[in-house]
């Protein structure tokens, strides 16, 4: 299983911010790093991969299992990717703008289902 954070070491892939909705990602792996109990939540990582115009792209993030099986991103500002987003003028987007693009990608993915499957809820 590919460690989720390895995506940071992959070659950079340039992507125009306007084309982010055209990227198609598939589930690559989900790992449970902490098996929760009544006092502590389950936590882990998930990795999604896809292909952009200039190569293989990946997005990874930590997740946490909240009460009653609800899973959420542990920190929506801490995503790891090899994507480098560009403005229409070809300039690299600032980190906060890039995080917004990444969250747009994440919110289109059925990642909660994969996390729940890894936790044995399905």
**Tens digit of pLDDT at every position of the chain (122 positions):** 667 778 989 999 998 888 877 889 999 999 999 988 778 899 999 999 998 778 899 999 999 998 878 899 999 999 999 999 999 999 999 999 999 999 999 999 999 999 999 998 86
Compute CA 17 distance to the chain's CA centroid, rounded to the nearest angstrom.
16
Give the Å distances, CA to CA, from 109 to 25, 89, 97. 8, 28, 19
| CA atoms in the 13 A half-sphere facing the CB of 120 | 4
**Domains in the chain, start-ordered, CATH in brackets?**
4-118 (3.10.450.610)
Report pTM.
0.90
The answer to whether 30 touches 117, Cβ cutoff 8 Å, is yes
Bridge partners (DSSP) listed for residue 60 = 47, 80
- 107 contact partners, CB below 8 Å, separation of at least 6: none
Please state, in angstroms and rounded to a whole number, the distance separating the CA atoms of residues 104 and 111. Answer: 13
């Amino acid at each position: 299983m590919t460690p989720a954070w390895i995506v940071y070491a992959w070659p950079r892939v340039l992507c125009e911010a306007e084309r982010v909705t055209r990227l198609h990602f598939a589930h690559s792996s989900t790992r449970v790093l902490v098996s929760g109990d009544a006092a502590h939540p389950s936590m882990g990582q998930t990795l999604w991969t896809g292909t952009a115009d200039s190569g293989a792209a990946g997005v990874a993030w930590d997740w946490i299992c909240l009460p009653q099986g609800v899973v959420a991103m542990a920190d929506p500002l801490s995503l790891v990717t090899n994507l480098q987003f560009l403005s229409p003028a070809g300039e690299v987007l600032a980190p906060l703008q890039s995080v917004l693009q990444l969250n747009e990608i994440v919110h289109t993915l059925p990642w909660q289902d994969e996390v729940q499957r890894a936790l044995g809820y399905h």
